[in-house]
Amino acid sequence: MIAFFVKRFFQAVVVMFVISLISFSIQDNLGDPLRELVGQAVSEEERQALREEMGLNDPFLVQYVRFAKKAVQGDLGDSYFFKKPAFEVIMKKLPATLELVFGATIIIILFSVPIGVYSAINPQSWFSKTVMGLSIVGISIPVFLTAIGLIYLFAIELNWLPSYGRGETSNVMGFWETGLLSADGLKHLILPSFTLASIMLPLFIRLIRAEMMEVLQSEYVKFAWAKGISPRRIYFVHALKNTMLPVITVGGVQIGTMVAYTILTETVFQWPGMGFLFLEAVNRVDTPLIVAYLIVVGAIFVVTNTLVDLIYGLVNPTVNLAGKK
């Protein structure tokens, strides 16, 4: 176990290093950060003086070493726009993003499991066929369009839900601004969560359906039928458990991807999370913030993958089967 963690830790360090190097090297192609800092009439000389002051005229290696020296001490530089340490800025936005991903995950679990199982058991029913058809459509509609459609219907026409933002938030444990504790905050979470879930939901319904159908064909399920066990027990205890193993693996990886997908969802809903922050940083060529974001997201990927591996080890199917009979 310890060896596993040590290995993962070194992998993480290598990943961070590579990400920092890549994100640092693309900054020259993003444009000129100075233009976002000064007014249109500021002279070329003034701008050059500022570039010099900020160390932007130094060669790549000099800039990178300066960055790396500070980075190993935990200082990823100050954001040009927020004028605060980039890491601090991102950490402040992290709760909003994680709550959005959490909301979307709940929706995915609540909908994909029952629908997937049902359509695996009754593949010929009209409901299953409709769901399969809709999931194709769902996968191909861009997030942006889904979001605008939802806003139009639920915020403007029906006036049930708020159109943007996070609503009321409250502080827990001193650093976590949460929207989950008030009715207003939860209302604000609904549309963005559905939008974000809409990308992954069809995928999971299809995945669960396919896995479940395969499991239902397996020998041990046939044996269970022969034994006369109740269908409910066969479907939900014996079959579903084995169905979920690959789903957990894919799900863990997809949660990481979902953090990346928040960029679009957050932008449309003006959700004050780190995805929106990243897009703005790219527009403003706020390099320290871009680099810090990529490193943090890299860290999230490494952590979720580690967790998935741990869970997978815990729910090892052979152990479970042996334990039962």
Give the H or E element holding residue 232: helix 231-233
Q: How far is the CB of 66 from another protein (least distance, A)?
A: 15
Helix-helix angle 287-314:86-121, to 10 degrees: 40
284 binds another protein (CB under 8 A): yes
Q: How far is CA 24 from CA 60, 130, 280, 318, in A?
A: 9, 47, 17, 46
163 binds another protein (CB under 8 A): yes
**Spatial distance between the Cα atoms of 199 and 265, rounded to a whole number of angstroms:** 10
Q: How many residues bind another protein (CB under 8 A)?
A: 45
**Spatial distance between the Cα atoms of 113 and 135, rounded to a whole number of angstroms:** 14
Q: Helix H segments across 31-85?
A: 34-37, 44-54, 60-71
Name the residue nearer to another protein (CB basis): 83 or 227. Answer: 83
Q: How far is the CB of 185 from another protein (least distance, A)?
A: 14
Among 118, 269, 278, 301, binds another protein (CB under 8 A): 269
Count CA atoms closer than 13 A to 87's CA, side-chain side.
Answer: 11
Tokens found for residue 20: 């920092």
183 binds another protein (CB under 8 A): no
Of 212, 264, 266, 263, the C-alpha closest to 235 is 212
Tokens 């909003």 identify what position? Answer: 96
Among 14, 36, 130, 317, binds another protein (CB under 8 A): 36
Among 42, 110, 134, 319, binds another protein (CB under 8 A): 42
Name the residue nearer to another protein (CB basis): 85 or 251. Answer: 85
Name the residue nearer to another protein (CB basis): 39 or 59. Answer: 39
174 binds another protein (CB under 8 A): no
The 43-82 site mask, x for binding another protein (CB under 8 A), equals xx-x---x---x-----------------------x-xxx
Query: Which window, 253-261, 278-286, 294-302, 309-317, contacts another protein (CB under 8 A)?
Result: 278-286
Query: Which window, 16-24, 246-254, 282-290, 297-305, contacts another protein (CB under 8 A)?
Result: 282-290
Name the residue nearer to another protein (CB basis): 57 or 283. Answer: 283
The 98-127 site mask, x for binding another protein (CB under 8 A), equals ------------------------------
Which residues, 185 to 224, sit near another protein by CB under 8 A?
A: none
Q: How far is the CB of 19 from another protein (least distance, A)?
A: 21
Phi/psi of residue 177, each to 5°?
-85, 115
Report which residue type is found at 185: G
Cβ proximity of 36 and 80 under 8 Å: yes
Tokens 């995928």 identify what position? Answer: 203
Count of C-beta atoms within a 10 Å radius of residue 158: 9
Tokens found for residue 290: 């871009």
Cβ proximity of 131 and 139 under 8 Å: no
277 binds another protein (CB under 8 A): yes
Positions in the binding site for another protein (CB under 8 A): 29-33, 35-44, 46, 50, 54, 78, 80-84, 148, 151-152, 155-156, 159, 162-165, 267-270, 272, 276-277, 280, 283-285
